[in-house]
Structure 1
Amino acid sequence: MLTEANKAVARDFYEAIKAYNEGDELALERVLAPSFVNHRPLAGQTPDIEGLKLPAFHQAFSQIHVTILDQIAEEDKVVDVTAWSLLHTGEFMGVPATGKRISYTEINVLRVVDGMVVERWGLPDEIHILQQLGIVSLQA
């Protein structure tokens, strides 16, 4: 069944991000098509494979853990609700390493063609990340 195969590719996508962060330079190329497009890149990030490597992110965070909380697939799209946990080990957005474990949720829509991710729309809980780093404070 194609949807189950696409779900497996989505799971491989998160494992590839973790492997790349741990030093496997080719991990992303194994799951992302050469024509890959990231439709919601972060500031300073290009919308291609190279942009997803985002050195500032991978230098600032280590020990990435991703848990898929929910996963739905239809035709060539997979939607994942994920929980991320990262260790803040380097400077990020002007904040020196804190050694804190940062956690947040993210929703990703991945389009899969021929066993490769060709497009990504990602929506991380950026405010929660910035709060944990002390960059923003929200008063009740």
Structure 2
Amino acid sequence: MSAFQPARNKETLARLHEAVNSGDAELIPKAIDQVFEPDVLISTPLPIGATGTEALKEVFSRLLRAFPDLHIAVEDVIAEGDRVVSRNTVTGTHRGEYLGLPPTGKPVSYNEIFICRFAGDRVAETWGVVDVLAQLRQLGALPGSPA
């Protein structure tokens, strides 16, 4: 593996974040196809039946419908060998249905951490932890949450 590969991998992952932050519903699927292997293994539980890049496209489509101003602020990126770790803060305003919840107009801010394993120049496997509990609390969907 080239000494430059970790830096290239970080740049590749940054292209996805840039596409998502553009809010462009046509650009995001194109970026997914460029950044991820078609059969990328996603080890984060997802409430959808699709797999690979089709699953990622569906996730971001749903997120953009629910949070049209979705923004990923990358807080830390660590790259070594064939892995890139990204710690992010995600923000948005709940303007569409999300996980069965009708729009509330409430802002959300939550954290996530993703580890991506690259094969060649694209992501072949991901592991992620997304703070869905924080999302649901902020949207008032849990007992004791702000209304």
1:15-54 Cα shifts (integer Å, max 9, x gaps): 23345x5221423112111221211132225331111122
The one-letter code matched in structure 1 to 2:55 is: G
1:22 and 1:62 in contact (8 A); partners too: no
Partner in structure 1 of residue 39 of structure 2: 35
Give the C-alpha shift of residue 80 in structure 1.
Answer: 1.0
Give the C-alpha shift of residue 94 in structure 1.
Answer: 2.3
Give the C-alpha shift of residue 98 in structure 1.
Answer: 1.6
Partner Cα separation in structure 2 for residue 63 and residue 111 of structure 1: 28
Provide structure 1 residue ranges, at least 5 long, that are not aligned to the other structure: none
More strand by share: 1
Partner Cα separation in structure 2 for residue 84 and residue 59 of structure 1: 15
What are the equivalent positions in structure 2 for 1:1-140 lying under 5 Å apart?
1-19=4-22, 21-24=23-26, 25-54=29-58, 55-137=61-143
Q: State the percentage of identical aligned residues.
A: 32
Provide structure 2 residue ranges, at least 5 long, that are not aligned to the other structure: none
1:78 and 1:110 in contact (8 A); partners too: yes
More helix by share: 2
**Residue aligned with 1:117, SS:** strand
The Cα RMSD (Å) is 1.9
Change (3 A) 1:112 1:16: farther
The one-letter code matched in structure 1 to 2:10 is: K
Give the C-alpha shift of residue 138 in structure 1.
Answer: 5.1
**Residue aligned with 1:35, SS:** strand
